[in-house]
Amino acid sequence: MSRAMHRFNLLISLIIAVSIASCSTSPTGRPQLILKSDAELEAQAAATFNAYRSTLPLTTNRAKIDFVACVAQAVVAELNPPYSDIEWELAIFEQNQINAFAMPGGKIGVYTGILEVAENEHQLAAVIGHEIAHVTAKHVNERASRGSLTGIGIEALAVIMGGGYTGGAYTASQALSAGAALGLQLPMSRGQESEADVVGLEYMAKAGFDPRAAVDLWQNMSAQGGKKPPEHLSTHPASDTRIENLISQWQKTLPIYNQAIADGKEPNCKKTWD
Q: Which of 78, 121, 131, 202 is catalytic?
A: 131
β 107-111/89-93 pair status: parallel
Q: Are 44 and 33 in contact (CB under 8 A)?
A: no
Sign of the dihedral through C-alpha 80, 83, 84, 90: negative
- The CA distances from residue 254 to 17, 209, 212, in Å, are 40, 10, 8
Q: CA–CA separation, 250 vs 172, rounded Å?
A: 33
Nearest-angstrom CA–CA distance, 147 and 204: 30
DSSP 58: B
Q: What is the DSSP letter of 274?
A: -
- Is 131 tagged catalytic? yes
**178: closest CA among 203, 147, 223?**
147
Residue 142 has phi, psi (to 5 degrees) of -65, -45
Catalytic residues: 131
